[in-house]
């Protein structure tokens, strides 16, 4: 969607982006605090998550959660919140005609929660149900267990369920008081933000009823460990094999490297005609695969995962190692690169069809490091990606010998060891370059 972006740096220390989309019929709000689980003692790991749940309940204006939600949703508005290891983000979307009412209610919930004991007890039950349902997701279980093994701030849902009862109402009140300060706050507001509306938004946020605090909390200095043995999680009920494979680089990526790695990811796995997934599908080895890349304060990583029948693992890993080695050696056809660029351009255009989608194009980067993506330069950035840049970033991703394999199923530890031995050949290629 056609739009312009401006940054607000308020006197109270809060910062954010206003995404003006002329004639938009809705407005969206994302308000972020660096307030995730890494900031609490591991014994009360669930405190931030429970705090986020209870915060959207009773407040000084509305004595019960249901009363507040009835008022919030009466014209079809939506609100929610999410907690990660690093952040809590509150979000809302509403029709354009009631944007000021919804922003005011959102800020009231964030700034004036009552944290009632009965609502806390109810949300403990709701979160327990949430975690129990998530614990049935084998990919999620494996991913969290791997992150924990690498040394990141993470716990599996099964572990979180075991220690939930350690969290008391006073713990979430203390976490709220520590983290919900204006210098730790970032926001993205998108919609038809006329000059008059911008002044109203600035006034509301400038006068938000929160202490200023000292600064934005710094992300943790996590350094992933190389796993000399695969992480194996035995589950008798799983007859196929779930796996994730990660490789790490001990620094953040620059924009050119992000673009090149994104295109490499598309080339390798993202489409049904990609190098790894497309070839594996042609041989009937796997239904689907997932992959991606991410960044933390001190490192970057690329990962790939799938669920596959044990009899097909060796052939799938053979394809993976062959195709990745071809990239290391520069064996990439320009026609494949152009096709991946066209796919990426189309996906980029599709991602911004809505007000919320457009806002999300900025939130990931901005909430991570206060960086502002140049949205209108993205198509040119995609077109400028070269074969040399793809080869270099993929070599560098495998150059430091920091990697690991996670396996979940009933295949045995010995089988997981065989999987690791087969794929381990990738890293010597990287270290020789």
Q: Which two tokens stand for residue 289?
A: 């695969």
For range 238-250, the mean pLDDT:
97
The answer to whether the 4-206 and 231-431 domains have the same CATH topology is: yes
Which pLDDT score is estimated for 432? 36
> Is 379's pLDDT higher than 80?
yes
Question: Can you give the pLDDT at residue 317?
Answer: 98
Q: How confident is the model at residue 209 (pLDDT cuts 50, 70, 90)?
A: very high
Percent of the chain whose pLDDT exceeds 70: 99
Q: Does residue 433 carry a pLDDT above 70?
A: no
Which residues neighbour 250 within 8 Å (Cβ) at sequence distance 6 or greater?
A: 223, 298, 299, 400, 402
For residue 254, pLDDT over 80 is answered with: yes
- Band of pLDDT at residue 428, cut at 50, 70 and 90: confident
Class of domain 231-431: alpha beta
Mean pLDDT of the chain: 96
How many alpha carbons fall within 13 Å on the CB side of residue 368? 15
pLDDT in tens, 46-98: 999 999 999 999 999 999 999 999 999 999 999 999 999 999 999 999 999 99
Q: Output the pTM of the full model.
A: 0.94
Residue 430 has pLDDT above 90, yes or no: no
User: Residue 431 — pLDDT band, cuts 50, 70, 90?
Assistant: very low
Domain boundaries defined on the chain: 4-206, 231-431
Query: What pLDDT, on the 0 to 100 scale, is given for residue 88?
Result: 98
Span 330-348, mean pLDDT?
95
In this structure, what DSSP letter does residue 153 have?
S
| Non-local CB neighbours of 328 within 8 Å, separated by 6+ positions | 391, 394, 395, 398, 429, 430, 433
Residue 268 in contact with residue 338, Cβ under 8 Å? no
* Domain 4-206 part of CATH 3.40.50.1360: no
pLDDT by residue (tens digit) across 20-46?
Answer: 999 999 999 999 999 999 999 999 999
Mean pLDDT, residues 395-416: 97
């Amino acid at each position: 969607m056609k739009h312009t972006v401006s940054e607000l740096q308020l006197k109270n220390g809060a910062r954010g982006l206003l995404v003006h989309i002329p004639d938009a019929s809705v407005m969206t709000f994302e308000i972020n605090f660096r307030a995730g689980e890494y900031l609490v003692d591991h014994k009360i790991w669930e405190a931030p998550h429970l705090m986020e749940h209870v915060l959207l309940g009773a407040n000084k204006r509305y004595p019960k959660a249901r009363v507040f939600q009835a008022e919030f949703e009466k014209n079809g508005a939506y609100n929610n919140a999410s907690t990660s290891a690093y952040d809590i983000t509150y979000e809302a979307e509403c029709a354009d005609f009631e944007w000021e009412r919804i922003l005011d209610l959102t800020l009231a919930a964030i700034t004036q929660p009552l944290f009632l004991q009965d609502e806390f007890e109810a949300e403990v039950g709701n979160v327990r149900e949430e975690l129990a349902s998530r614990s049935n997701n084998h990919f999620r279980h494996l991913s969290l267990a791997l992150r924990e093994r690498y040394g990141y701030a993470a716990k599996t849902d099964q572990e979180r369920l075991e220690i939930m009862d350690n969290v008391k109402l006073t713990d979430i009140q203390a976490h709220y008081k520590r983290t919900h300060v204006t210098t730790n706050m970032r926001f993205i507001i998108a919609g038809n933000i006329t000059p008059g509306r911008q002044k109203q938004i600035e006034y509301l946020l400038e006068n938000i009823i929160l202490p200023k605090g000292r600064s934005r909390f710094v992300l943790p200095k996590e350094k992933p460990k190389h796993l000399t043995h695969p992480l194996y999680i035995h589950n008798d009920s799983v007859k196929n094999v779930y796996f994730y494979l990660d490789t790490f680089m001990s620094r953040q990526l620059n924009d050119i490297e992000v673009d090149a790695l994104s295109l490499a990811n598309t080339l390798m796995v993202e489409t049904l005609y990609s190098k790894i997934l497309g070839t594996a599908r042609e041989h009937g080895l796997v239904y689907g695969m997932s992959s991606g890349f991410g960044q933390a304060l001190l490192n970057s990583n690329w990962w790939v995962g799938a669920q596959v029948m044990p009899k097909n693992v060796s052939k799938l890993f053979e394809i993976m190692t062959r195709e990745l080695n071809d990239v290391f050696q520069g064996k990439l056809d320009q026609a494949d690169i152009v096709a991946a660029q066209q796919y990426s351009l189309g996906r980029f255009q599709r991602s911004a069809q809505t007000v919320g989608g457009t806002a999300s194009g900025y939130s990931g980067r901005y909430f991570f490091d206060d960086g502002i993506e140049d949205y209108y330069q993205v198509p040119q950035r995609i077109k400028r990606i070269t074969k040399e840049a793809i080869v270099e970033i993929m070599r560098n991703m495998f150059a430091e010998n920091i990697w690991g394999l996670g396996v979940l199923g009933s295949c045995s530890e010995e089988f997981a060891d065989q999987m690791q031995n087969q794929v381990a050949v990738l890293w010597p290629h990287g270290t020789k370059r």
